[in-house]
Amino acid sequence: MFSQVVRVGDTTQEEIFTLSIDGQDLQRLTNNEFRDLYPAWSPDDARVAFLTFRGPDLDIYIMDADGGNVKQLFDSGSHDADIHWVGEKIAFTANNRIWIMNDDGTGAHQITEPPRAGEWGNANLPFGDYDPRFNSDGSKIVFERLVGDESIHGNYDLYLIDNDGSDLARLTDTGYSQGLASWSHSGSRIVYAVAAIDDIGQYNIYIMNADGTDNRDITPDTFPTRFLCNSPIFSLDDTRIFFIGQWWSDD
């Protein structure tokens, strides 16, 4: 499942599609004048939560897997983002903080309170917490926090918190431009991308234990410097890392 920019006449919109893993059976789930993006499957594959610009800001909507029965799930009054759905809970970002709600939209509440939340500095996002990711049983969440704005890319560190907002722990203390972490299915390791160190682009893959130990760069030395690695995830048996790769060009 993915979102894709679509050109319709003189307007540009973003719609949500599904595609079989063999590249066949392309289906368009949304078809409107709005930006629909960041889709997330329900655990039973019956529903899809997504972000949409149908008002003054991004809100969380939900639909059936075939694109039917579209309705609003949550609106914080500002931009909502970064949906992740495990079990009957959805984690997301709202007001530059990490929130959790039930998958019917009830019980929404924030679980983090980062320093200087919402304050703009020199980075490309305001200070705050972003990109929550549940572990497989939904008991813990890893996320990144903007801890400094010395770099335009943002200086982030990865944090861990229980789903009730307790036991906040800092996993990294580097301030790299890093994030979009993903858990191993066993819950013992975390993989993530480092996009930049200071103002120098990297786009490398790092891995660490779930407590932050043994943190290291696992990007193969054979990869050229202009080959960028994004969005790493574990295979189902946790023995491999899948990622998006692309070539960078100055042209």
List average pLDDT for each run of 10 residues in the chain, which is 251 residues long: 51 82 88 91 95 92 95 95 97 98 97 97 96 97 97 96 98 97 98 95 96 97 91 96 87 55
Nearest one of 82, 77, 69, 75 to 37, comparing CA atoms: 82
Give Cα 106 distance to the centre of its chain: 22
**pLDDT value, residue 225:** 83
Buried b (16+ CB within 10 A) or exposed e, 17-55: bbeeeeeeeeeebbeeeebbbbbbebeeeebbbbbbbbe
Q: What pLDDT shows up at residue 250?
A: 62
Residue 145: partners with Cβ closer than 8 Å, 6 or more residues away: 112, 114, 128, 129, 130, 156, 157, 158, 159
Strand 155-162 versus strand 71-74 pairing type: unpaired
Instruction: Answer whether residue 122 is part of any domain.
Output: no
The answer on 52 and 104 residing in a single domain is yes
Within a domain: residue 28? yes
pLDDT of 236 reads: 94
Pair (149, 245) in one structural domain = yes
Which pLDDT score is estimated for 251?
A: 55
Note the pLDDT of residue 211. Answer: 97
Which residues sit opposite 102 in a β-bridge?
89
Return the SS3 of 6. Answer: strand
Q: Are 227 and 155 in the same domain? A: yes
* Same structural domain, 14 and 73: yes
Shared domain check, 64 and 12? yes
- Is the residue at 193 inside a domain? yes
Same domain, 84 and 187: no
DSSP state of 88: T
* 106 and 182 part of one domain: no
- Structurally, the chain folds into a number of domains equal to 2
Domain range enclosing 63: 1-110
Domain holding 147: CATH number?
A: 2.120.10.30
Do 13 and 101 have their domain in common? yes
Residue 10, pLDDT score: 46
pLDDT at 9: 45
